[in-house]
Amino acid sequence: MLLNLRDVPEDEADDVRALLGERRIEFYETRPSLWGVSAGGIWLVQDEDAGIARRHLADYQLARAERFRAERALAEAEGRAPGAWAAFREHPVRALATVLGIVLMLAVATLPFLLFGR
């Protein structure tokens, strides 16, 4: 397996497919299972291609990460990067549920000390 497709954006998977095609590295793809047990993946046909494919994949992922970091830095410098407040406005129920979960976990963790600590 070259790439597990769990949580991989579709554009990244497309780029990896194109990269392998350009390098003439044979591969096949498995689809996710119906129940979410397997996320699917990109597999190499020839074991001998694994080393070179992994190097190309590592180079691609490094370049992609650098590009996204540069885009994020530019967005932050221009004031366009979303912050915590933007995330709260976009998903208020999720944000409130998260805060409630944190408070609940803190209460459960500290309650024994408050009740039996005397």
pTM of the model: 0.70
pLDDT at position 109 = 94
SS3 29: strand
The domain made up of 1-81 has a fold known as Alpha-Beta Plaits (3.30.70)
Kindly state the tokens that stand for 20: 């392998």
How do residues 35-91 score in pLDDT, each as one tens digit?
888 999 999 999 999 999 999 999 999 999 999 999 999 998 998 888 888 888 899
Mean pLDDT of the chain: 93
Three-state SS annotation for the chain = CCEECCCCCHHHHHHHHHHHHHCCCCEEEECCCCCCCCCCEEEECCHHHHHHHHHHHHHHHHHHHHHHHHHHHHHHHCCCCCCHHHHHHHCHHHHHHHHHHHHHHHHHHHHHHHHHCC
| For residue 27, pLDDT beyond 80 | yes
Bridge partners for 42 per DSSP: 3, 29
Give me the residue spans of the domains in the chain: 1-81, 82-118
